Amino acid sequence: MNSDSTILVTGAGGFIGGHLVRRLRRDGFANIRAVDGKPFDEWHQLDHGVENVCADLSALDECRAAARGVDFVFNFAADMGGMGFIEKHKAECMLSVLINTHLLMASRDAGVKRYFYASSACVYAADKQDEVDVAALKESDAYPADPEDGYGWEKLFSERMSRHFTEDFGLTTRIARYHNIYGPMSAYEGGREKAPAAICRKVIEAIQNETGAIEIWGDGKQTRSFTFIDDCLEGTLRLMDSDVEEPLNIGSSEMVSIDELVSIVEGIAGVKLERRYDLAAPKGVRGRNSDNSLICEKLGWEPSTPLATGMRQTFDWIQEQMSA
């Protein structure tokens, strides 16, 4: 990509898409089309220096209009959220397959030079994530296929669709498997929030309401790695500009338990809370971490923001929103 390229960012009203628009603007790209299905007043970020479009990209005609005259596509559009959302809205998550399918067709017909698809670590086989002390997931661990029901199947299918558009039609595609992206400007309430933002909110609520307690989904021992938004964007742009044709993990390799994540947020807030565990709540797989061997080999880079550093920025932003 160069500064004269026309770039389409779909899902631009969402967390990652909104941050990417800002990053591209900062890097000097002037011709950006930002598209999302939500009304403008619901976008996480709205940059008035780009072409903002509200459109339903599950419809082929809307995708054709969005891709017209575009050189590069970043597709983040999807109906998704944290475990509390994807475990209860499997069909809705799977309907996102219409977006990627129609956008691939529109991009092929519009002569798009390169197409990026945002996939997820939810594509990985469940039997490789059933222990707390889990082995880090390599890209090959997606097969034999047994992904997260609903959302994970949609992501894995869309990965294959992207691959076959490259094989059959010559559309150059790049695929990232994101591992739990977090940071400022993310959802922190309403049901779509992920664990880092949810825990920040719960700690702040405990302080504001003087309850002295926090509810934790599961037993707190389940493990994850969490990737700061700045690392996500850097990895995405490096992958888009690379010759890597296979799906690639973009995730931190710093694995923590949910209890440890709560302790980090307690340390930031300067409190110690009673922990009440909801064992019936959605909690996902037992353990998940990113193996970064391939990204180090292919890109000479991996996410490096310490969790405590990213969580400090996330907590401060959420606290500011809640105080307002």
**Per residue in 87-146, pLDDT tens?**
888 999 999 999 999 999 999 999 999 999 999 999 999 999 999 999 999 999 999 999
Report the SS3 class of residue 216: strand
The pLDDT confidence band at residue 83, using thresholds 50, 70 and 90, is: confident
Identify which of 139, 132, 159 has the alpha carbon closest to the alpha carbon of residue 296.
Answer: 139
pLDDT digits (tens, 9 = 90+) for 168-180: 999 999 999 999 9
Q: Please report which confidence band the pLDDT of residue 184 belongs to, taking 50, 70 and 90 as the band edges.
A: very high
Task: Compute the distance between CA of residue 205 and CA of residue 271 in angstroms, rounded to an integer.
Answer: 12
| Chain mean position to CA 166 | 23
Sign of CA dihedral 90, 229, 158, 63: positive
Strand pairing category for 173-178 and 114-120: parallel
Please tell me the predicted confidence (pLDDT) of residue 228: 98
Peptide linkage before 184 cis (omega within 30 of 0): no
Q: How many angstroms separate the CA atoms of 115 and 106, rounded?
A: 11
pLDDT above 90 (res 204): yes
- Paired tokens of 73: 């596509």
Contact 12, 57 (CB under 8 A): no
Angle, CA of 299, 120 and 288, to the nearest 5°: 90
What is the overall mean pLDDT for the chain?
97
In the DSSP assignment, the letter for residue 303 is -
Answer yes or no: is pLDDT of 82 > 90: no
* Span 205-238, pLDDT tens digits: 999 999 999 999 999 999 999 999 999 999 999 9
Statement: residue 283 has pLDDT above 90? no
Q: Write out the catalytic residue numbers.
A: 151
Instruction: Give the residue-averaged pLDDT of 13-30.
Output: 97
Q: Name 299's Cβ contacts closer than 8 Å, sequence gap at least 6.
A: 235, 238, 239, 242, 244, 248
pTM comes to 0.96
Domains of the chain: 6-181+226-250 (3.40.50.720), 183-224+255-290+305-323 (3.90.25.10)
